[in-house]
Amino acid sequence: MVKVDQNKCIGCGLCAGMCPETFVMGADGKSEVIKEEVTTCAKDVVANCPVDAISVN
């Protein structure tokens, strides 16, 4: 499943931009996971999050 550490997320929006089927930006300005399935797209985003807030397993 895909998880975002809300304490690390700085709200850059990159994940929601790269992979909108998995991530949306919440009202608090932080990323939220809307689909926990580990897709290729979600894996790519893990490596690109600037603060390593996303994990997949």
Q: Which positions lie near ligand SF4, rule CB under 6 A? A: 4, 9-15, 31, 49-51, 53-54
Nearest approach in angstroms of CB 16 to ligand SF4 is 7
* Smallest gap from residue 33 Cβ to ligand SF4 (A): 9
| φ, ψ for residue 46, nearest 5 deg | -50, -45
Beta strands 2-4 and 54-56 are: antiparallel
Is the CB of residue 25 less than 8 Å from the CB of residue 31?
yes
Question: Which of 1, 51 has the CB closer to ligand SF4?
Answer: 51
How many residues are recorded in the chain? 57
For the bound state, the minimum distance from the C-beta of residue 52 to ligand SF4, rounded and expressed in Å, comes to 8
